[in-house]
Structure 1
Amino acid sequence: MPYPSDDAAIRRLLTETRVIALVGASPNPARASNDVMEYLLHRGYRVIPVNPGQAGKQILGQTVVGHLAEIAEPVDMVDIFREQGALAGVVDEAIAIGAKAVWMQLGLADDAARTKAEAAGLAVVMDRCPKIEIPRLRI
């Protein structure tokens, strides 16, 4: 079930966000994470790819970091392209770096991780994709 159902909250998040850490970024153009990253870059967002297996390399011209803790600038939103079982750990890392929001991609939702993130003051979006939401909300 997509969360939240409040379009105004999603619009506000996407409008206020400038720096996105994309966890699970892939150099493979056939992967959804690559497609979404390219879209976000073209929309003017700063996107920092996060993938330990690609650390130090480039994806779409952006230098990959291995972990969220390695990002040397404030992160507005952590966009998660990982398996369901990794969500709680990524949310913990997002809280630790002071991110303002976590976004779980289509098919991903974890109510316990959502509760923890919201308790720490982060906005949470689950089971949605910014590449779909931006045009839908006409941002």
Structure 2
Amino acid sequence: MNKKTKAAGWPRRPIKERNGASFAPHYTPSLIKVNGRPVGEVRDGVFRKHVRASVHMLRRPPAWALDVESLADAERLGARVVEIVDVETGFRYRASVARIREKGFELDRGHGRQIALELEEWAVEHPKQPILPLEVWR
């Protein structure tokens, strides 16, 4: 490793490509907790939650809801996008934090203050289809 590479920090290419090793860099996500329980993580500007739609999706109106404090915590940790992964179907729902704040509505149905965004406002990725690039989200 020369002085230039060392000064630049982590190599720009994964180590695997550089020397054939099977080592991959570790990225530590920032956990988001509600009442002491982890509900998601923030990594690379994305607040990601894994949930079961049959249990967690709002029925009327059809929407995904997030705890108001968890969204605020995720924003403080640099999240610009929220991704909800339905573990039952593999579908991924994505929306920008700005869109959730703009188009979302607050509610409290016995689980604390939440902000919900109707399903039609989320970008949806089918497990076999790629999701739209980040720059096209509003």
Q: TM-score, normalised by structure 2?
A: 0.30
Which has the larger share of strand? Answer: 2
- Greater RCO structure (CA 8 Å; 6+ sep): 1
Larger Rg: 2
Q: TM-score, normalised by structure 1?
A: 0.30
Which has the larger share of helix? Answer: 1
